Each structure stands twice: as C-alpha cells, then as structure tokens.
Amino acid sequence: MKLSVVGTGYVGLVTGACFAEMGNIVTCVDIDEAKIENLKKGMLPIYEPGLEDIVVNNYREGRLKFTTSLPESLEGAQACFIAVGTPPDEDGSADLKHVLAVAREIGQNLQDYCVIVDKSTVPVGTAEKVRQAVHAELERRGVEVDFDVVSNPEFLKEGAAVEDFTRPDRIVIGCDNERSLEVMRELYFPFVRNHERLCLMGIKEAEMTKYAANAMLATKISFMNEIANLCDRMGVDVEKVRLGIGSDARIGYSFIYPGCGYGGSCFPKDVKAIIQMARDCGLDPLVLNAVEDRNAEQKQYLSKKIASHFGEDLAGKTFALWGLAFKPKTDDMREASSIVLLEYLMEQGAKVRAYDPVAMQVARRELPGAWFDSGSLELVSHQYDALVGVDALILVTEWKAFRTPDFSFMEQVMKRKVIFDGRNVFDPEKVRKLGFDYYGVGR
C-alpha cells in the first residue's frame, strides 16, 4: 500500500518506518528541510532503540522516502496519516493549528480517494474539523473527490516505540463506514496475524480513548507518589507497599513506581488537554486536577529533601546528577523532572555535574546557556566523572547503568557520602550500611 505520513517527529517517523518495514511504500513529509535532508543521510532527530536501523534500511531499499512536498506524497496514496504536533495552548487545550493546516493542504491537492488518518493525539471532535477543512478546500477548487477521516491514535512508549508499533497490545480504529475500515484492516493485517488486536469503535470514542488511557496511567503514578509522601511521613517503606498492592491483579505492578514526577511529551500535555475538555463541557475534573497538582508538587520532592539536609543556601556545594531525560531509553527532556531540579539548584547557587547516557546533546541544546557559561552546570562524559569531589549524588532517571554502581569507588571520590534517589533504584539498607546518608522517595 502507498502511504503518506505528514510529520517526522516521534510519532510520524516511527509510524512511517514501521509501515515501510512491512513492505508498504511510505513517503514521510516535513516542512523542516534540514530534518528531511538529515533523514536521507540516516541522521534521526530523536533517539529511539531500533528505529535507526529500520529507517536506514527501508530508505536504502526504496520503501521509505522523505520530502518537504505534501502534494508529492499524496500521489497515489491510499492513506494519509496526520502526525504533526498538538502543543498545549494557553488554557492547556490541544492546539490544532498544525493538524488543520495539514488538512487544508490535503484538500488543496487531493486527486483520488484517500483515507485521512488522525494519528496525532487530538481532542474529541477533531476528525470532524479535519473533514470540514478538507471539504472546504475541495469546494474552493470546485472539484469532488471522495475521502474519509479515521481516528487511529498511537499508543507508543518512548524507549519501546518500535516494539509497541510492531507488536501492539491493541490497535484502536475509529471510523464511520466500511470503505475506510477495509483500508485500515488491510494496512494493519501484518500486525494482527497472531491474534486479533483491532479495537473498532466510533471516531469520537477513539479520540477519547487515547486521552483516557494516558490520564489513567498518569493517575496511577500520581496516586502512588501521594502514597509515597504519606509513607515518608509515617516511616513506612513505600516499596514494600508497592509490592503488596501490585500483587493484586486488579491493580497490577505497572505504573505504580513512586518517583520524582512524570514528564515527557504525552502525559503532562494530555492531562492538561483532557482537563480543559472537561471544563469546556461544564465539568469540574476533580480527580484529573489532583493528578496534575500532585505531579507538579512531586517534581519539588528532591529539592525539599536537599534543602532539609543541606539548608536553603547551596553556594559552595557541588552535586552529581545522574539522568537528564524524563525516562530511560530516550533523549527526550520535555517536562523532565531534571529541569525542575536544576532550576532549583541553580537558583540556590549550587554547581552541578550531570550525566545521561543519551540526552547530553539535547541538554546542551535545550538548557539555558548561562548555566554552562557561568560554570554552574557541567556535562561530563561518564557517570563516575560526575562524582569527583561532590557533596551528594542525585539520581533522577533510572537508567540500567545506574542501578548497581561501584559504591566502593563512590566512597573514595565523593566529598560527602550522600545520595538522593529520585527513582528508588538503590537498596536503602545496603547503602546506609555502607555509611551513606540515603534519601529515597517514601523510604
């Protein structure tokens, strides 16, 4: 099948590459000329395990193409995926300007029947807005071209996106006629041969499913973080509690790890968006408001622990920071807890040596240049380089390489034996026996 995928960000690039891997001819479109040229050279704008090989191989084989021309990508395309960004507006709602701009351009260039697929995370009712935008442009041209709009939200975890796309838990398809459904069935057939994974529903239901899923997962995280705070005050080890409740099949172990707050491109944005959707309907989203408030407060957790140990004035203090990305296996620092922590440390006059296995280039690009220029923040080339002469280690991202460090070496090079563990990766009993002051989340 010939496909067009508009947007070569996280969702668009994974979608296009994985469809090409299954033998489809896919043209990925982006207005960023430099990004398109880099993709042709095998230089990806994101880090995602396994993705580079798929992109490079399918581009070489001619199944995956890159262009800045949407009209070119539409020639003969049976489906066109809209996978552009939906950043939060001032009120927290999803900004649809990029989605609707693509819809208008499709309408300006559509020649033959095509299924237009909303792959971006968009509010309920967006498919109808896309339909209207395309139809308006066709009317302006004075032509009649059949098309359908389908909602097919993505459920990709950063760090496991290729696996999630090729071996999905479910494939949600929201459509309103058999013709578009048959196109989607054919397209996804290679991914459902083992057993049926298609969840068929109405378009609005599909749009809501994506938001409800992310809001539910964010709720589990914030709930567990609230329990961790309670455990902290009552002298209870939250990790034992986590194991106790996770063994209940109705709860499960996923997304109940306490920590220093969730981040990334999805949960913060999508929780804000569904909150605004509720308000627009006259509903006060009490639970969702609490989820967001707890997460904002949780990102201050490590700062408060540091202040409790060292005091508010951190001038003359140096900290090692392990982890900058919002989670392991990605270089994404959007809404990362590390940024909130760094802002606090910089304001209090501290110096920081930071290390992350893959997010160093992003950090150099995204963090304030003044932090580097003043010497307050240094990015080091190895996790142990960050430890020399520091007053404390702060762990923010639970990369595997951080989980069983050489504590004997750490004792030798650290000025003070203090650890702030924002993801509870260390065994507190073991670490404290070694003479470290240890602060976990709820333990």
Segment holding 27, helix H or strand E: strand 25-29
Helices of type H across 311-406: 337-347, 360-366, 369-373
Selection from 327, 322, 320 nearest residue 257 by Cα: 327
**Amino acid identity of 404?**
T
Q: How many CA within 13 A on the CB side of residue 402?
A: 31
User: CB within 8 A of 181, min separation 6: which ones?
Assistant: 173, 175, 200
* Catalytic residue flag (residue 266): yes
Q: How many CA within 13 A on the CB side of residue 398?
A: 13
Q: Using an 8 Å Cβ cutoff, are 63 and 23 in contact? A: yes
Spatial distance between the Cα atoms of 236 and 256, rounded to a whole number of angstroms? 16
**Amino acid identity of 13?**
L
Selection from 154, 148, 183 nearest residue 24 by Cα: 183
Segment holding 34, helix H or strand E: helix 33-40
- Select which of 28, 80, 175, 266 is catalytic: 266
Segment holding 17, helix H or strand E: helix 10-21
Residue with tokens 């109808």: 128
Cα dist from 314 to 243, 354, 356, whole Å: 36, 17, 23
| Residue 88 DSSP code | B
Spatial distance between the Cα atoms of 189 and 151, rounded to a whole number of angstroms? 17
Selection from 19, 28, 358 nearest residue 165 by Cα: 19
Cα dist from 384 to 209, 357, 390, whole Å: 43, 12, 11
Helix (H, G, I), strand (E, B) or coil at 367: coil
Q: Using an 8 Å Cβ cutoff, are 237 and 148 in contact? A: no
End-to-end CA distance of the chain, in Å? 54
Which residues are designated catalytic? 266
